[in-house]
Amino acid sequence: MDVRYYLLFVVPALILSVIAQIGVKRAYRRMSKQISMSGHTGETAAAAVLRAYGVGDVRIEACGGELTDHYDPRENVIRLSENVFRSNSVAAIGIACHEAGHAAQYAESWLPIRIRNTILPLTKIGSYAGIPLALIGFWLSFEPLISIGLLLYSCIMLFQLATLPVEIDASRRAMRAIENAGLLRSDEELSGARSVLRAAAMTYVASLAVSLANLLRLLLIFSRRRS
């Protein structure tokens, strides 16, 4: 029965996740070949977005890897992969501006980002302790411990759910600044940047689907065995 639940819920979600990862890599590689007319690099484009939102104390640094771009709020730094940091491609500008959008969210203390950060500590606990606690509760026939374990594990799904509006808003901020500052100038360039950001957003949708599928599977397993 456990295998059937896994095949029914988790496998389709994992397939969606793989498709989303392939999609974002294909979109990135396609638009990495299209050079922007503005001549901006990922570094200068991110700096332009920061200026547009009045954020002046964020560093922009290069980091290793591919698609490792992120904003680190603890050190207040935007880290862009080398191919994004130095590139003047449409993909590089879209990705860099998206990360600058996150920096703007933190600078404004935007409510959804604060909600997500509130959930984060519980998510870390749930990822390590949720399932073990539920299993211990099951072995001991102690239902409150099962419920606590599943509740902690559900924080992973809640975190993924809270992440979606944060990512969508960062892309919205990025595209608004790109258009206003002329970082990308043609409709083709703007459409290309949107395609990269949409593909990236689908990876977060897929992560939410995987978390939800795993939670449903666990709820069905434990509820069936307790009945």
The residues annotated with a catalytic role in the active site are 99
Core vs surface per residue 76-107: b (16+ CB within 10 A) or e: ebbbbbebbbebbbbbbbbbbbbbbbbbbbbb
The backbone torsions φ and ψ at residue 183, rounded to the nearest 5 degrees and listed phi first, read -70, -30
Amino acid at the residue 13: A
User: At a CB cut-off of 8 Å and minimum separation 6, what does 130 contact?
Assistant: 149, 150, 151, 152, 153, 154, 155, 156
Q: What residues contact 211, with CB distance under 8 A and at least 6 apart?
A: 156, 157, 160
Please identify which residue in the block is written with the tokens 């399932």: 131
| CA distances (Å), origin 125, targets 20, 74, 149, 151, 189 | 27, 20, 10, 11, 42
